[in-house]
Copies of this chain bind each other. A is one copy, B any other.
C-alpha cells in the first residue's frame, strides 16, 4: 500500500483529469484478479466483489483527485506535476481501498461489495456523477473515511449524526457611482460601502445565529476599483457560508440578503447577491455508525475508537451518497509524530503511512460486518 500511495503521490491529477490514476487503479485491481470493473464519468472506477446479484451491496468509497497546490514537502516521492499535489490524503484513500480489496477478494461474502474510486471530490462534487451513473446500484449502506492529522495512528473517530457542514458559496456585487477621486460628493463609493458590509456581516455570526450552533461566514475575496485616483464604481465580494443545521443556514442566507438590501439605502448603491448551494452536511446514520464502531473496535480495539465531539465545518461530498443510502464516514488517525502538523490543503501536508493498513482493515471489516447486519439498517425512504 505504501508503494501505491507513493506512486500516486508522485503523479497527482486534478478533478476530472484523473486519467492516469484511474488506469493505475484498474491495473492494480487486475493484479488482484478483480475483473468486474467499470469506468464511470470518464475517470471514476467501480469494482465489484462477492455475489453477482446487485442486492444486497455494501459500498466502500475512496476519492482519488488531487489539489491545485504546489508541493513544498521535500519528500523523496514529492509531486512530479508542478502546481498539483495530493495535499488532502486521497492518495492514501486509494491505497486503503485497494488494500481492502486485497483483504476481501478471497473472503466468502454473503452479498456484494462495491469499491467506488470517485473523482473530483475537491472540485464540484464528483459523488453526484458517480451516483447518477450507477455506482450505488443495489447498495444498502456505504462506508468511507478520511485521513486525519488530529489523531495518532491507531485511533478511528466514529460519530453518528452531523459531522460535516453545509458549504454554500456566494457572490455579492455592489455598484455605486464612480468618478473623480477628488469629487466624492458626485459619486457613491462602492469600496466604502463594501467595507461597511464586510463588518456588518460579522454580526450575522456574532449576533444573529444561535451561539451554540456552529456557523462561519468567510469573505474570501474582495475586488474593487481600477485606479488609485478614481472612485470605484463596482466592488465584488465572494465567500462561503458554513453551517450544520438548516435553521442557522437559513438565518445566514436571509441575513446576507437583508444586509445587502439594507446597504442600498445606506450608501446609495445597488447590490446583487447570488448564493450557490454547496455540499450538504455529512449525516452519519445511527445504525451504520454502530456497525462502523464495531468494525473499528475489531481493528484498533475499544480504546482506539473515539467520538468526534464537534462537527467539522469543512465540506465532503460523501454527503451525496448519504442522501441515497445510510452509511458512515469515519476519520483515521494519521498524525505524523515529530513533525509540525500541517493541515490538509497545506503545501507541506503529509501523514503517517502507518494509517494505511488500519484504513484498509477497517473498510474490509465494515463491509463484512454490514453484510451480516443488514437488518439493522433502514433504507433512506423508510427513514424519511
Contact = CB atoms under 8 A, between A and B. Distances in A.
A346 to B, nearest CB: 8
Interface stretch (A8-16, A22-30, A139-147, A180-188): A180-188
A228 interface: yes
A213 B208 CA distance: 16
A266 B263 CA distance: 7
Interface stretch (A216-224, A323-331, A366-374): A216-224
Given A222-B224, A231-B218, A184 B207 contact: yes
A191 interface: yes
A315 to B, nearest CB: 8
Contacts of A240: 181-182, 228-229
B220 A232 contact: yes
Contacts of A267: 200, 203, 262
Contact of A212 (B202, B221, B238, B310): B310
Contacts of A214: 211-212
A242 to B, nearest CB: 5
Interface string A305-330: 00000111110000000000000000
Given A185-B207, A207-B192, A223 B222 contact: yes
**Prevailing SS type, chain A contact patch:** mixed
Contacts of A312: 182
Contacts of A235: 222
Interface residues of A, number: 79
A251 B184 CA distance: 13
A184 B192 CA distance: 22
Nearest to A226: B221
Interface string A215-254: 1111111111111111110010011101000000001000
A215 B211 contact: yes
Interface in A38-89: none
Given A186-B343, A220-B232, A227-B221, A198 B191 contact: yes
A304 interface: no
Contacts of A311: 212
B216 A220 contact: no
28 contacts: A165-B182, A170-B228, A180-B343, A180-B344, A180-B345, A181-B220, A181-B240, A182-B211, A182-B240, A184-B211, A187-B207, A191-B219, A192-B199, A195-B195, A195-B199, A195-B222, A199-B203, A202-B203, A206-B217, A212-B311, A218-B229, A220-B232, A221-B225, A221-B227, A221-B228, A221-B232, A228-B239, A229-B240
